[in-house]
Amino acid sequence: MRKKPAFVMGLAVAAALAAAAPANAVTPAPVDATQRANCPQLSTNLDWHGDNRAKLQKMIDERGTCSGKPGPRPVAAFDWDNTVVKNDITDATLAWALRHDKILQPRSWKDTSKWLTPAADRALTTACGTSVPAGKPLPTSRNTACADEIMEIRGKSRTVAGEEAFAGDWNHRRTVPAYAWIPQLFAGHTPGALRSFAKKARAEALGAPVGSTQTIGTHTIAGYVRYYEQQKDLIRTLKAAGFDVYIVSASSEVIAEAWSGGVGIDREHTIGIRSAIRHGKLTTGIRGCGDVPDGQGEVLPYRDGKRCWINQEIFKIKGAAAWEQQDPARRIALGAGDADTDVTFVSDATGAHLAINRNKPELMCRAYDNADGRWVTNPMFVEPLPGNPNSYPCSTTANVHPDGTHGPVLRADGSVIPDQLDTVHG
């Protein structure tokens, strides 16, 4: 995978606080009343829940170039799936690949993931067969059993027979084997080939009607993807107001790059799972973050891993410190996400935490608790979910620990967030 170019870091000019910032830091000139009236504005023709547009506009005005305040460019970071678009681009790409025989036979299915269980290895070997030589395309468009096993393991981390597909030790706040497994399945292809698969899947998904489905093997999944117009407008407004805007996704970075241009974000501002490259081709290796070396997916842009990637790639904080919450001058101004996989980096934001409600407990506990008064909670913009009929178990089990056990969600001061009712939904 290409190496992202290093940013020359500026110095924050707040009090006695020195802080790294992207090279394109700017010092806004003083803004007079006439200029302020022409500051970048969110569209009033797009619906937001309640007063969310006003809250976001206030943050943009306070942190962007129209603030007239000196300092580095503020940073905004967005998750991708179900945050900027409706539905999942990894699912769309995998489905397209399976329908077009683009998964290559591995030498052994065990090679595709260090955590793959013997049961999953046997199930995949049986379903996909051994007649296709290693490195050649599997006929998944015709072999329903093979496509089914791959889809079941991707979606539920288990085999069609119900056996666990992944086992062993991993940090549950840094990775999940099923997420790492998708870029690992594309080992043997060039990044350009995978990008082309993603672009073809994108064209199909954008052309399919809202609400449509597709069947892969015997699995039925969403058949369409849509960019959220509100998020496109928010990203446009942020950029116009001087924000540096990034995508931070737990999808393959190559797949995310095929989509991010649709909201005006280039490849250098798109962060995802980075596969190691050998002889110009993707491998099952995955790049590490902070003090975690390259490996097999021990750390992804997932939960706490998203904080690490933001700190490392945007603010150039190296080593173990990349896992730590930084001082406010070295944190994003806006974070947007829809799931517990996003909760750490969204919580790190200093100006606004935008939570798209998909009924995910840890994220919604923090959103509804709204400890700093800066949480902005919004239903999904397309086909929003109904409300969660039960209160979120914030005081007991909504938080996941590194070992996979569950416990209460804690505020920054260590106090327990009480259970929360779901009040912002479709």
Calpha distance 167→384 (Å, rounded): 34
Q: Is the pLDDT of residue 15 over 60?
A: no
Task: Tell me the two tokens of residue 170.
Answer: 């991993």
**pLDDT at 7 (0 to 100):** 36
109 touches 181 (CB < 8 A): no
Asked whether residue 11 is assigned to any structural domain, the reply reads no
Residue 26 — pLDDT band, cuts 50, 70, 90? Answer: very low
Structural domain range at position 372: 33-77+228-407
Q: Is the pLDDT of residue 27 over 50?
A: no
> Do 129 and 205 share a domain, yes or no?
yes
Asked whether residue 28 is assigned to any structural domain, the reply reads no
Q: Is the pLDDT of residue 11 over 70?
A: no
Which has the closest alpha carbon to 85: 238, 230, 258? 230
* Residue pLDDT, tens place only, 203-255: 999 999 999 999 999 999 999 999 999 999 999 999 999 999 999 999 999 99
Provide the CATH number for the domain around residue 362.
Answer: 3.40.50.1000
* Residue pLDDT, tens place only, 253-271: 999 999 999 999 999 999 9
Average pLDDT, the chain: 93
Residue type at 101 in one-letter notation: D
Asked whether residue 167 is assigned to any structural domain, the reply reads yes
**pLDDT at 18 (0 to 100):** 38
> Crossing angle for the helix pair 52-63 and 229-240, nearest 10 degrees?
20
**pLDDT at 33 (0 to 100):** 52
- Buried residues in 207-244 as b, exposed as e (16+ CB within 10 A): ebeeeeebebbebebbbbbebbebbbbbbbbbbebbbb
DSSP state of 227: E
Comparison of pLDDT for 74 and 34, the residue scoring more = 74
* Residue pLDDT, tens place only, 400-425: 999 999 999 999 999 999 999 999 99
**pLDDT at 34 (0 to 100):** 52
Specify the length of the chain in residues.
Answer: 426
Residue 71 — pLDDT band, cuts 50, 70, 90? Answer: confident
> Do 401 and 255 share a domain, yes or no?
yes
Q: Say what the pTM is.
A: 0.92
Q: How far is CA 361 from CA 340, 341, 392, in A?
A: 7, 11, 6
**Rounded to an integer, what is the distance from CA 304 to the centroid of its chain?**
12
Give the total number of structural domains in the chain.
2
Residue 37 — pLDDT band, cuts 50, 70, 90? Answer: low
Calpha distance 275→65 (Å, rounded): 36
Which has the closest alpha carbon to 9: 358, 415, 420, 312? 312
> Do 184 and 245 share a domain, yes or no?
no
**pLDDT at 364 (0 to 100):** 98
Residue 38 — pLDDT band, cuts 50, 70, 90? Answer: confident
